[in-house]
Amino acid sequence: MDDIKNTAAARHSDAALHLENAARMHRDAARQCESGNFEKAQQLATKAAETDTAANQHAMQALDLYRHHAETVDARKAEAAADEAARAAKKAAKAS
């Protein structure tokens, strides 16, 4: 559980860092555009879009961790329920 928490938290932190960097690049691109340096603005905007993509990948990795954890918990619950049903059936068979 701690491994999932630490890994997911790290993915969210990575995503936030990428988003902060992308925002900075977008602001720089806006300044370059206002100065008439469209080529530099385009380069910055492209890099910002790539950084946004990296942020989304980190966020999706965190979501995959959550999904995998939920599947594991559900499987454990189903196994426990099946065991309980088997015990109840065995007890009922002994009683009759």
Q: What is the pTM of this model?
A: 0.75
Burial environment of residue 22 by CB neighbours within 10 A (0 to 12, 13 to 18, 19 or more): buried
Alpha carbons 22 and 30: distance in angstroms, whole number: 12
Residue 2: predicted pLDDT: 75
Q: Give the pLDDT score at 93.
A: 85
pLDDT of 95 reads 83
Please give the average pLDDT of every successive group of 10 residues along the chain, which has 96 residues: 87 97 98 97 98 97 94 93 89 84
Determine the pLDDT at residue 1: 60
pLDDT score at 21? 97
Query: By the 8 A CB rule, do 44 and 25 touch?
Result: yes
